[in-house]
Amino acid sequence: MGSYIETELIINHKDTELRLGLPGSEDNQQSCNGSIVRSNKRSFSSETTSVEHESICKSNNVSSDTSNSSTTNNDHDHDQDTIQPKKVQVVGWPPIRSFRKNSLQQKKVEDGCGMYVKVSMAGAPYLRKIDLKVYKSYSELLIALENLFKCTFGEYSEREGYNGSECAPTYEDKDGDWMLVGDVPWNMFISSCKRLKIVKGSEAKGLACL
């Protein structure tokens, strides 16, 4: 038996969830036509979507995850203007042995891959990257950001954001929205933060007034 290399590479991907979304939904990664079973019935009404969603739920023991920004129920599908991509977990998809899934998840907890996100600030000549896993709390993160970009954030309060400061830290979450850093629990922030942006001056005040 000569030289033989069996390579198993673990790669990152955004998530293992199938999403139901009507065509034209803003999430460009999930272009699924809203039907897991009948993938080629492109012309369907929102009514079909909710019916199919229900039958998928029944037949596949699916549990729906409500997206965190709004209530997600079947009635929403009837409103074409407020398209909410539904996160639906399908049994047995993606097809990975549970044994391997468990060891991959364990790996997620243990490994030192790091969670690097880009940090930008208007006016800065280039972006930076920081490893979110290094920090255990918002205060640690903010101090690090302040040092990195030589700015100050001021005191955070739920009501007024970063009051009295020239800058405010914001982040883009999984849904693509720009949020003020500090509103949600740290762990939730870690798992939903895609990138950071430090906004200055009037932008900062604008956010704080929301």
Partner 1 sequence: MNYFPDEVIEHVFDYVVSHSDRNSLSLVCKSWYRIERFTRQRVFIGNCYSISPERLVERFPDLKSLTLKGKPHFADFSLVPHGWGGFVYPWIEALAKNKVGLEELRLKRMVVSDESLELLSRSFMNFKSLVLVSCEGFTTDGLAAVAANCRSLRELDLQENEVEDHKGQWLSCFPENCTSLVSLNFACLKGEINIGALERLVARSPNLKSLRLNRSVPVDALQRILMRAPQLMDLGIGSFFHDLNSDAYAKLKTTILKCTSITSLSGFLEIMDCIGDKGLGVVASTCKDLQELRVFPSAPFGNQGAVTEKGLVAISMGCRKLHSLLYFCHQMTNAALITVAKNCPNFIRFRLCILDATKPDPDTMQPLDEGFGAIVQSCKRLRRLSLSGQLTDQVFLYIGMYAEQLEMLSIAFAGESDKGMLYVLNGCKKLRKLEIRDCPFGDTALLTNIGKYETMRSLWMSSCEVTVGACKTLAKKMPSLNVEIFGEGEQADCYVEDGQRVEKMYLYRTVAGKREDAPEYVWTL
Interacting residues toward partner 1 by CB under 8 A = 1-16, 18-19, 29-33, 35-40, 59-61, 90-100, 104-105, 107-108, 110-113, 115-117, 193-194
Which helix (H) or strand (E) element contains residue 59?
helix 46-60
**What is the C-alpha R_g of the chain?**
21
Q: Are 89 and 17 in contact (CB under 8 A)?
A: yes
User: Which residue bears the tokens 């880009």?
Assistant: 118
Q: Write down the least CB distance from residue 167 to partner 1, Å.
A: 23
Only one residue has tokens 């690090």, namely 144
Q: Which residues pair with 171 in a beta bridge?
A: 179, 196
* Minimum CB distance to partner 1, residue 194 (Å): 6
Minimum CB separation of residue 43 from partner 1 in Å reads 13
Q: Which is nearer to partner 1, 131 or 183 (CB)?
A: 131
Other C-beta atoms lying within 10 Å of the C-beta of residue 74: 16
Question: Regarding beta strands 195-200 and 116-121, do their DSSP bridges make them parallel or antiparallel, or are they unpaired?
Answer: parallel
By beta-carbon proximity to partner 1, the closer residue of 2 and 123 is 2
Nearer Cβ to partner 1 (30/64) = 30
The minimum distance between CB 184 and partner 1, in angstroms, equals 16
When the beta carbons of 134 and 155 are compared against partner 1, the nearer one is 134
